[in-house]
Structure 1
């Protein structure tokens, strides 16, 4: 973690080189799953420094911040609502790797954006920006921007899976499906790679910015279209499948009108599944980043437990291929609320700490306030019993799925994976919007309501695990 005075001194060197004046003390912005963002002013103008938490954090990445800055400049020139880059950091600045850009108006808060009027208008502008991004040619960018090989991407995810233990059956099922259904390559276009709520800025009636271009590459345009439509990036608007703003039909029509490219629904589904597996592995890697010391921020360990969100979403996507008899509801809810006696349990202690932290929330501001919310989420996971982790790990079953010995046609496999997925998510993130959708689908609306799963677990009556 860089000291505030060191950061300010480094920014003074950067701003002097860029000719934009002396910077004010930078303030850390909230959020950011990978990179840091710091806002500061030079006179009347506002700027944002985007930097890596450490130089070690940049090791093994496809390209550095200099290439990312070049990509943003190319997008800006194409009329995408990308920020204007004014300077890249150099080693002599002594504040790490990153760049400085002009601050844009609007909020990145998905909750605020998804509550704005004229969601349909925002969706059209998002489709417009994506189409313009996809029009950027390879000659417009440095040669370091990679071109995705679909099969190599699957192999890389599979390697990551085994490095992480290879014991998550639902992820194994997704990887096997991807191997069996990988589409033929198409003419590659520039992909943003992280186009979703959380990386878009907006103000009422207007999209104002497209941020975080670190995952850009050349590939299939359906990948960008699908990623922002994943359930995790729709936040509370699970009912609006296109970026949380509207319908897929509206999104596709707006994109087709701007780009002249017809959407292929089968390719779109493939990339929904591919990127869901990709983000599941990204969540798992967060724990390793923390363990190695590359980034010891609290968000890393908490995000690692969000893998269960992606497992649930992945299973809901994959189960479309299961036989009809396997898709019928077969699960029930069992109440496990017990009165505690004697000394406080670990869960009660975690709850007590979380309740105390809520009393100091108003005394915190900026990134510290965000960290406090993350800490309370972490304590909630502990309070809901850490033994819930057992539901997600089964090395033997994962191997059998990977080897093709078991599939969605195997009697009872889908029900077992539903059982494990629901129970794991009940422990990790019970407020995840897709949980209610899955519960109603897999148990029936009469069995599952938004409140029925409190202090409970899901069971498979009269059956034993596979």
Structure 2
């Protein structure tokens, strides 16, 4: 039996338990680093299946298993959060892995559409309201939810960082700062853990155009500091095309704070917020590095893992912009050292970078018209990968320095050391220019640091 037939049969078995007919129009959705998502019809219902095909209840960086996530989503709905209704959980006898089926909500998660709407004040108010509702949800009966203790989490992240090489100077600088600036503990509340653009649904028509319609992807939920959620959606990477808008790419951080407090959220603390902004940016940098190690291990040999690993340099640039205010004024004004001399193409046979460019151009002209759906997405990832390697050959950026990283991590050097900030700025600019030259914050950093 084909994989598609197996999925349809197992899903039919699960749906029958709640009186729904067999699925039709099954379509794989893009996105989802840790599991698959499928959109389908079941009679008059439009549904979404989230599953781990291999059957593991815990995959990737999940905090909770699928059954606990389903229970949590039900609790969030009971608290008034615009989360999807969970209809049925998969069972072993269904034969299609672990997961659950939800009723689909209206709206789109696409930031390129959402950030084009002109009702930022209303959307920020919606986001603040849903976040406040999340943080006051009663989850006392959900014993599977982990409790996050910040210093324990930092110790675990230090261990992960060292396992990944411990040789990225900007990450060492950030980790040292985090360990020195842990805020006092607060009574733990429900934290969504992934509350950001991409996991929020926004309406596209009628009265709900530009308004929040759903909060998705609760797999990283835990008990902890509510300011973690406030900060996560404000990370530069999740502002997408609008890094100039500090909150979710929609409005200002002040707008978000006012909306959150007005909806019953706790008083906004800018110092605590800044800590969590640095923390989650560092956390996501480690997540990107982990993608590469997942590929190396053979656990997942998808091309997407390899490319996402190169997004570490986005977080390094963002971390440096978050931390540079600690440097003396003279260091912030110091000119940057020059970049390495780029590779010069000769007049003989094309070099490796030119060969990769030729392959990318062929994929775009000859193969792209032949593919659709997810294959078109994977093709774009492949072309992105070729571009990364081509630019790396030409530009020869320096990303690692084990000795410098150790000095920064152990405090033998810091951001006030003469010339250090300029050196790290150059490192961040060059690496990101090779990895992800279209990252919107790169242009802002060049303007700030080079005057370009």
TM over 0.5, shorter chain = yes
Question: CA separation in 1, counterparts of 2:57 and 2:284?
Answer: 18
How far did residue 131 of structure 1 move? 0.5
* Deviation digits for residues 137-179 of structure 1 (CA, Å, limit 9, x no counterpart): 231x420101100001101110100010110111111110011
Question: CA separation in 1, counterparts of 2:93 and 2:293?
Answer: 30
Q: Which residue of 1 aligns with 2:11?
A: 11
Q: Which residue of 1 aligns with 2:170?
A: 170
Deviates more, 1:13-22 or 1:287-296: 287-296
Q: Which residue of 1 aligns with 2:255?
A: 250
2:229 equivalent to 1:228: no
Q: Which residue of 2 aligns with 1:105?
A: 106
Question: CA separation in 2, counterparts of 1:101 and 1:296?
Answer: 29
**Aligned-partner SS, 1:238:** coil
Q: Which residue of 1 aligns with 2:206?
A: none
* Deviation digits for residues 276-304 of structure 1 (CA, Å, limit 9, x no counterpart): 00000000001122222322222111000
Kept in 2: contact 1:329–1:442 (CA 8 A): no
**Aligned-partner SS, 1:49:** strand
Deviates more, 1:354-363 or 1:418-427: 354-363
2:355 equivalent to 1:355: no
Question: What is the correspondence of 1:27-426 to structure 2 with a 5 Å cutoff?
Answer: 27-52=27-52, 54-55=54-55, 58=58, 61-139=62-140, 141-203=141-203, 204-331=209-336, 336=342, 338-359=344-365, 360-386=367-393, 391-426=398-433
Kept in 2: contact 1:118–1:205 (CA 8 A): yes
Question: CA separation in 2, counterparts of 1:363 and 1:240?
Answer: 38
Gaps of 5+ in 2: 204-208
Question: CA separation in 2, counterparts of 1:290 and 1:311?
Answer: 21
Deviates more, 1:72-81 or 1:421-430: 72-81
How far did residue 365 of structure 1 move? 2.2
How far did residue 349 of structure 1 move? 1.8
Question: CA separation in 1, counterparts of 2:393 and 2:29?
Answer: 31
Gaps of 5+ in 1: 449-466
Kept in 1: contact 2:75–2:138 (CA 8 A): no
**Aligned-partner SS, 2:202:** strand
Kept in 2: contact 1:31–1:370 (CA 8 A): no
* Deviation digits for residues 251-270 of structure 1 (CA, Å, limit 9, x no counterpart): 11000000252100000000
Question: CA separation in 1, counterparts of 2:336 and 2:158?
Answer: 30
Kept in 2: contact 1:148–1:218 (CA 8 A): yes
Question: CA separation in 2, counterparts of 1:95 and 1:372?
Answer: 27
Question: CA separation in 2, counterparts of 1:339 and 1:271?
Answer: 45
**Aligned-partner SS, 2:87:** strand
For the aligned residue pairs, the C-alpha RMSD in angstroms reads 1.8
How far did residue 117 of structure 1 move? 2.5
Deviates more, 1:41-50 or 1:332-341: 332-341
Q: Which residue of 2 aligns with 1:463?
A: none
In the superposition, the TM-score normalised over structure 1's length comes to 0.91
Question: CA separation in 1, counterparts of 2:53 and 2:385?
Answer: 21
